[in-house]
Amino acid sequence: MGSVLRYLAGLIPVGAQGGFPIKTLCINVIGSFFIALIAALAVKHTGFDPRLSLMLRVGLCGGFTTFSTFAYESAELIKGGHWAAALCYALASVVLSVLAVFAAQMITK
């Protein structure tokens, strides 16, 4: 299900600005938020079925997010001589994804 959602999100007509992979960035940040939200809710609510939590985190969010696409797009930016865009993409991906995790954890407190 997560992979299908990833595919459908990739169909959203958003043009890459200067080759910057904005769709993958958004997908990974959104996925990071939801995986942290699910994990935090599972910890907070002891009645949360651990199998459901695992299926949502690994199956749905894991299928939705994509580290391999991030790595490939970063390499393509570097190969194309777009070093600054690759660096911005890598930094933005890590920083925004970690901030999304903290945001999800904060709203579940």
C-alpha dihedral over 104, 39, 69, 28, to 10 degrees? -10
Provide the residue ranges of all domains of the chain, joining segments of one domain with +.
2-9+18-107
Q: What is the DSSP letter of 12?
A: S
Q: What is the 3-state secondary structure (H, E, C) of 32-60?
A: HHHHHHHHHHHHHCCCCCHHHHHHHHHHH
pLDDT band at 20 (very low <50, low <70, confident <90, very high): confident
- Which pLDDT tens digit goes with each residue over 54-89? 999 999 999 999 899 999 999 999 999 999 999 999
Q: What is the mean pLDDT of residues 18-27?
A: 88
> Contact at 8 Å (CB) between 31 and 6?
no
